[in-house]
Structure 1
Amino acid sequence: MQYKKYTQQLFLLMLLSAQQASCKQQIKEKTMAIEQFKWEESTNAPLGYPAEVYQGGLELASGGFVGLFHGTIPGDNGWGSPGSGMSSGAKTLPNKLDVKYLSYAENQFYYANCPIDYDKLVRVFKEPLQRRGAMGNLLADHFDQVNVGFAPGGVVVVWASGPGHRVEIGRYQAEKTVIPESEINRLDGAAHLIFEETEVERVMHSNSIIPLAVQAANKNKPIPFGLWDSYRKKYHWRPIFQIQQEGKMRDFSFTYFNGERNKYFYENNIQSTKNSELFYQEVQDSITFAIPSSIGFSWFAKDSRKYSGYFRFNEQEIFQAFHKLCASDTTTHIEMLIRTNIPNSYATVLLRNSQGKEIALIQHDDEEFFQIKR
């Protein structure tokens, strides 16, 4: 009887072992079947409203996990601009966000536990990108970052980023949460800092995290809840360039208040109208864009000398202009006319709608807002 019982136990162990091996193989095959991309994670916050991830990160479609704890997020490069990650390499893309973070300006913790539009993320990562090489030639490139932005009010936005491009994948709502005292008490000194009032005060008054000018501008003002959602509104508009004296347009790029970005190269789909206005076939009226925060562009003069220009738009001014030109009709088409002068030392920006109404955007002498280089 003992021998028979031993044989049965051995058989069950062998069967269980075979099932476990089969299960592991299936998991391995499933993971390998999910397409992998070379990318790294990144975090972002609006300037003046720093955040910090306390716990969690991105869950991958393969079942893996990428943490988003990178310390205090200052947002010094603008809403949507990615920072540096720590997990570069080939892996599957994320399909879920599971993260707890602190909004320093509110001294409030939030918890985001929501699915990410995985199919959209995959489609975007499969889109080919280009960048201009050191010799001026166009080189193939690709999206290489998944950036997560944390704004006051529990606003969380995920972007896919690559050279010259950022695409919003989705906007998500985090809920207010309270970290239990029992959990806080178990933390060591470094991890415990985020829960101390003195640390919150230090971060909000640190010039290296929030520039003094921004601190002064925000002083005694309420947190502009809803601002980052207003950035996401899109309009039917396109840029049109007028280069004088038979000059030739080269490349241009737009960064938008919603954190997205586009870059265009003159080799791709450039068209010319009879009155020398230049635009790109890709930028059609049927496509909507958020309001731009800045534009960079370059052109060649008749003598082949290269020039480049940069505008950083005044937020209040350009939003008011778009609202006046569109009124309540979001289907109104708007053109942004960028016109260089004959000496190639200056450029003007004019907005006009399909009814012929025009608004010139004021050019600031400060190089922070406007510059022409050659």
Structure 2
Amino acid sequence: MIEEKYDWSATLSAPEEYPIEVYKGEIIADDFRQFLKGFGTIDKGWGENGPMVVIGPDYKNLPDSLTISWRSLIEKKNYSGKWALPTNEIKEYFKTGFVNPDNNKKETYNSFVIGLAPKGNVVVWLSGASKQFEVASFKAQETVINSSNLDEDEKYLFSQEYYDITLRNIEKEKPEIYQKIKANSLPIPEIYEKIRTKFLWKPEVLLPDATDNLKEVTITTFSGELEVLFDDELLANNYEERKIPNEISFVAKTNDKTEKWYWVKKLDVNELLNVFNDFETGAKIKFVIDLKSSSKPSFYLSDGKVKKNINHISLETK
């Protein structure tokens, strides 16, 4: 049987408060290996794609294993691990693909995003133009580094000088993140497990004008996933097992055929986890964005019996 090949690459991701640098690592297929070191400091945000390196053949077999070692610059610790990837599941996802709402054409995934978080938490996402979701998670082990075993171009990662340079760059480019780091306000490691919990929920948008039509809804989650609802899927708007959102954006067509954009953001991860967990296990929950009931938008979760307001939230429009 001839193995189907795809055009894919891999990149790295880490929380903004948790800058890391990979000093060894590969994502491995039986006909190709992509090195994962040499990307520089990674701290763009959890689930956010880092630099992309395009090397090797355009089409290759899908990867079956991952090995990686990284330096946590703030923790001043090192983590390492090697794991098998769920190859059969990955193949099915690539075969099935998805419809891109931007062009209404079927596409498939083109990158593996490898997330590295405090205390050795590792997540692998499949990512495409309008879809990203977790396909695997692992736990790396803390390791002790003997600098004599490192290449010369790797040793600098473990120096005080490199740590100071990294911190100065963060202070210059992201002063708010710098203050969190200085205050030792790292995300607690357990949060990366909690945000992977799924709940049975769907968004419900109540537009300010009855003649407005909802065109598209985009959900991003604290766990780094991305989903776009449009056309038949948006009309059906079924309850799905999803992780908790950190942003919901949507587009509405008004009566005069113009489009209006909305962004629901600045949700608080702890508040949202608590509110979702207040419902019974398996409850069907609506995340309601009510823009028509009063002069001020309201946001709440409801299972048809219980209504729970969300307080830490904001709405932007364009």
Tell me how far 1:321 sits from its aligned partner. Answer: 4.3
Task: Output one character per residue of 1:118-142: Cα deviation in whole Å (capped at 9) or x when no partner.
Answer: 1121122222322344xxx523322
Pair 1:172 & 2:138 matched? yes
Q: Match for 1:68 among 29, 36, 42?
A: 36
Pair 173,326 (structure 1): closer, same or farther in 2 beyond 3 Å: closer
Q: Indicate conservation of the 8 Å contact 2:5/2:60, yes or no.
A: yes
With 175-184 and 139-148 compared, the bigger mean Cα shift is at 175-184
Counterpart Cα distance in 1 of 2:115 and 2:216: 28
Counterpart Cα distance in 2 of 1:298 and 1:314: 19
Identify the residue that residue 300 of structure 2 maps to in structure 1. Answer: 350
Pair 1:92 & 2:61 matched? yes
Q: Which amino acid aligns with 1:293?
A: N
Q: Match for 1:337 among 272, 288, 305?
A: 288
Pair 155,296 (structure 1): closer, same or farther in 2 beyond 3 Å: same
Pair 321,86 (structure 1): closer, same or farther in 2 beyond 3 Å: closer
Q: Match for 1:290 among 210, 221, 243?
A: 243
Pair 179,215 (structure 1): closer, same or farther in 2 beyond 3 Å: same
Q: Which amino acid aligns with 1:141?
A: E
Q: Which amino acid aligns with 1:288?
A: E
Q: Which amino acid aligns with 1:198?
A: E
Correspondences of 1:207-356 after superposition (within 5 Å): 207=170, 211-221=174-184, 223=186, 224-243=188-207, 244-265=209-230, 267-271=231-235, 281=236, 283-285=237-239, 287-316=240-269, 319-327=270-278, 329-341=280-292, 347-356=297-306
Tell me how far 1:269 sits from its aligned partner. Answer: 3.5
Q: Indicate conservation of the 8 Å contact 1:154/1:175, yes or no.
A: yes
With 320-329 and 248-257 compared, the bigger mean Cα shift is at 320-329
TM-score under structure 2 normalisation?
A: 0.90
Identify the residue that residue 183 of structure 1 maps to in structure 2. Answer: 149
Structure 2: gaps (5+ residues)? none
Identity, in percent, stands at: 20
Pair 201,340 (structure 1): closer, same or farther in 2 beyond 3 Å: same
Q: Which amino acid aligns with 2:39?
A: G
Counterpart Cα distance in 2 of 1:73 and 1:209: 15
Q: Indicate conservation of the 8 Å contact 1:149/1:156, yes or no.
A: yes
SS of residue matched to 1:91: coil
SS of residue matched to 2:166: helix
Pair 314,219 (structure 1): closer, same or farther in 2 beyond 3 Å: farther
Q: Indicate conservation of the 8 Å contact 2:20/2:72, yes or no.
A: yes
Q: Indicate conservation of the 8 Å contact 1:48/1:74, yes or no.
A: no
Identify the residue that residue 158 of structure 2 maps to in structure 1. Answer: 195
SS of residue matched to 1:225: coil
Counterpart Cα distance in 2 of 1:234 and 1:209: 37
Q: Indicate conservation of the 8 Å contact 1:41/1:66, yes or no.
A: yes
Counterpart Cα distance in 2 of 1:70 and 1:346: 49
Counterpart Cα distance in 2 of 1:132 and 1:329: 34
Counterpart Cα distance in 2 of 1:209 and 1:231: 30
SS of residue matched to 1:198: helix
Identify the residue that residue 118 of structure 1 maps to in structure 2. Answer: 87
Pair 44,322 (structure 1): closer, same or farther in 2 beyond 3 Å: closer
Pair 334,361 (structure 1): closer, same or farther in 2 beyond 3 Å: farther
Pair 1:371 & 2:316 matched? yes
Q: Indicate conservation of the 8 Å contact 1:325/1:352, yes or no.
A: no
SS of residue matched to 2:196: coil
Q: Which amino acid aligns with 1:65?
A: R
Q: Which amino acid aligns with 1:71?
A: F
Q: Which amino acid aligns with 1:329?
A: E
Q: Indicate conservation of the 8 Å contact 1:296/1:308, yes or no.
A: yes
Q: Which amino acid aligns with 2:42?
A: P
Q: CA RMSD, aligned part only?
A: 2.4
Tell me how far 1:70 sits from its aligned partner. Answer: 3.3
Counterpart Cα distance in 1 of 2:316 and 2:289: 13
Tell me how far 1:100 sits from its aligned partner. Answer: 1.2
Pair 1:144 & 2:110 matched? yes
Tell me how far 1:82 sits from its aligned partner. Answer: 1.4
Q: Indicate conservation of the 8 Å contact 1:165/1:260, yes or no.
A: yes
Q: Which amino acid aligns with 2:136?
A: G
TM-score under structure 1 normalisation?
A: 0.77
